[in-house]
Amino acid sequence: MGKKIKEITIEAFRAYEKLQAFDFRHNESKNIADLVVIYAPNGYGKTSFFDAVEWAITDEIGRFKSSNAIKQEVSAEKGDILKNRNSNLLQGMVRIVTENDSIFEKKTKRRIGNMKSDYKPGELELIAHELEGILKEKNTFCTTNMLAHDKITSFLQNYTAEDKTKALEIFWDTNGYSDTLKMINNLFDEITNKEKTLSTELQKENKELKQYKYELNKENEVRQLIDNFNSKNDLQINLENLTSNIECSLDKATSILKKIQENKFKNEEKINNIELLINKLDRVQLSSQK
């Protein structure tokens, strides 16, 4: 609700039998208060006052559903729950007047027919055009515009630090700094994740660099050994051609191995043929002897 409240009038609602007006203007300056704190001993109607304003805006009373036991009690209650039972009026009334005299007024439902109780959304009697937006604030009104004792207790005990900050942003964050802060936090998280990714990649590169240095050191050791060998022997080893010489030798060895395997297969085949001939010869000799 973007307007200051100048006056609230309650009549025949809950504890208020007679018409009662609450003027939120300063006695001397007549300036409308930015913040109103209501204090009074028990039994002076504080709870009914908050019930009236909350019901007028949200169509319900939050404390009536604060526990299952209270829900069941309200559900079982018959007769007038909202309208003051001692009043001769047929309906209870709540009127809110803003700083520019715009009016929002709602009355309780009349109980007719088989209507069990009047605890229902009320009848909107009057609403200024500029106040129509208040009907969209049902879910937030009681945490941004009005805090009864039970709401304050719930706020302090049940809300997390993050929830409290979000709920109170409407009072201090008029320039939208919280949205900017969220963007900065999101960007910070993105940068942090990118930093972790780059750190992982850097560790991988460092590992590969260490392996490269290891191989380079080994190569230097091989060079040193070859130099020592060349200095003491007539047979010289050319390091630059060593790799190609090794590959050439491997190719020759592979070719020789292939030929050996081929000769092996041929010789095995010949041996098998000879064994077959020997077996036939033995059978022929046995036949001739008989």
pLDDT for 223 equals 74
Give the pLDDT mean for 254-275.
76
Q: Which of 18-22, 54-58, 70-74, 261-265 has the lowest mean pLDDT?
A: 261-265
* CB 82 within 8 Å of CB 92: yes
Give the pLDDT mean for 189-205.
85
Give the pLDDT mean for 119-126.
94
Q: Which of 33-42, 63-72, 88-97 has the lowest mean pLDDT?
A: 63-72
Residue 19 gets which letter from DSSP? -
Say yes or no to pLDDT of 1 above 60. Answer: no
Percent of the chain topping pLDDT 70: 82
* CB 131 within 8 Å of CB 104: yes
pLDDT for 69 equals 80
* φ/ψ bin of 101: left (φ > 0), alpha (ψ from -120 to 50), beta (otherwise): left
pLDDT for 246 equals 62
Give the pLDDT mean for 256-277.
76
pTM of the model: 0.54
**What are the domain boundaries of the chain?**
5-172, 173-237
* CB 146 within 8 Å of CB 109: no
Name the residue type at position 61: I
CA–CA dist 97, 107 (Å, integer)? 15
Say yes or no to pLDDT of 230 above 60. Answer: yes
Say yes or no to pLDDT of 278 above 70. Answer: yes
Q: Residue 245: which pLDDT band, with cuts at 50, 70 and 90?
A: low
Highest mean pLDDT out of 19-23, 75-79, 109-113: 19-23
Q: Residue 123: which pLDDT band, with cuts at 50, 70 and 90?
A: very high
CA angle 283, 288, 290 (to 5 degrees): 100
Q: Residue 263: which pLDDT band, with cuts at 50, 70 and 90?
A: confident
Could you identify the residue written with the tokens 């208060």? 33
Q: Residue 107: which pLDDT band, with cuts at 50, 70 and 90?
A: very high
Q: Which residue has the higher pLDDT, 121 or 210?
A: 121
Highest mean pLDDT out of 115-129, 181-195, 241-255: 115-129
Selection from 77, 106, 91 nearest residue 9 by Cα: 106
Q: Which residue has the higher pLDDT, 32 or 253?
A: 32
List of residues 6+ apart from 107 with CB closer than 8 A: 91, 92, 93, 94, 122, 123, 125
Q: Tell me which CATH code domain 5-172 carries.
A: 3.40.50.300
Q: Which residue has the higher pLDDT, 210 or 242?
A: 210
pLDDT for 221 equals 78
pLDDT for 244 equals 62
